[in-house]
Amino acid sequence: MTAGFFERVADRIESTGGPVSVGLDPDPERIPEFLADHDLPRWAFNRRIIDATHEHAAAFKPNAAFYEDPDGWRALQETVAYAHGKDVPVLLDAKRADIGNTTRQYAQVLDDVDAITVNPYMGRDSLQPFLDREDKGVFVLCRTSNPGGKHLQDHELADGGTVYEHVARLASTWNEHGNVGLVVGATTPDELEAVRDLVPDLPFLVPGVGAQGGDAEAAVEFGLAERDGRDVGLVNSSRGIIFAGENTSGEKAYFDAAGDAAKRLKRRLATHR
């Protein structure tokens, strides 16, 4: 039987020494000049980032926004296959969900990747085809890291609690197969702690450390759940790792800096566990 996504993440946390998710967001404007002539610069960039960081990565998290064009989709396919070749699971940050036939189509991407982020706004039926994929991880947006996350998610409900707390409780009822996690940002550590208290068993994807200045200590303290006696959950940094080499000179130094940034984050998280 194939191991489920969270089991594979727990394995990676053990083998790499931490819950680091390396975000593969190859902004075309920031891809270094020395890769500009490549047939698929985003793929060339990601390949080198994967080479430099995989030994510290519990997962890679490409954001679909950086691949939604024909060349981008090819770059994503190459990237996913290469990450899998290094035995690292891939979480596609796509924030999907829609009505029945559309969401069934969206969920087919789970044939290629190991987990996905989804948007709970349209309710359970909009997520069902994702939830049905027992061996795949489904991370439900709960309390996002952006400044405007508070506008809707912190809204107080008439019967008590906030929208994000309601989402956390609902998502835990969608977890029949043990494949549901939550997205909770490191930029709001109090909310992160509150969600952990509400749903002690759900693993979180915690974005917002690094470039967004979130709280790495809170990310690791509250982001991880325990499953079969093992830590499971992911703390993501994208720009803070992949563009760490921007002020270096030469290709080797550029990607060494990414590897160092991933290792630094791993060590920083380890000191707080």
Ligand X SMILES: O=c1ccn([C@@H]2O[C@H](COP(=O)(O)O)[C@@H](O)[C@H]2O)c(=O)[nH]1
Q: Which residues bind ligand X (CB under 6 A)?
A: 23, 25, 63, 93, 144-145, 183, 185, 207-208, 210-212, 236-240
Q: How far is the CB of 253 from ligand X (least distance, A)?
A: 21
61 is known as an active-site residue: no
237 secondary structure, DSSP code: E
**Nearest C-alpha neighbor of 233 from the set 3, 1, 12:** 12
Instruction: Give all strands (DSSP E) within the chain, no chain letters.
Output: 20-24, 59-62, 91-96, 115-118, 137-143, 180-184, 204-206, 225-227, 230-232, 234-237
The nearest distance, CB 86 to ligand X, in angstroms, is 20
Give the nearer residue to ligand X in terms of CB position, either 126 or 236: 236
Which is nearest to 91 in space by CA: 54, 137, 128? Answer: 137
E-assigned strand segments in 69-212: 91-96, 115-118, 137-143, 180-184, 204-206
CB of 61 to ligand X, least distance (A): 7
* Catalytic member of 61, 86, 95, 150: 95
Q: How far is the CB of 236 from ligand X (least distance, A)?
A: 5
Identify which of residues 25 and 165 has a Cβ nearer to ligand X in the complex: 25
List the catalytic residues: 95
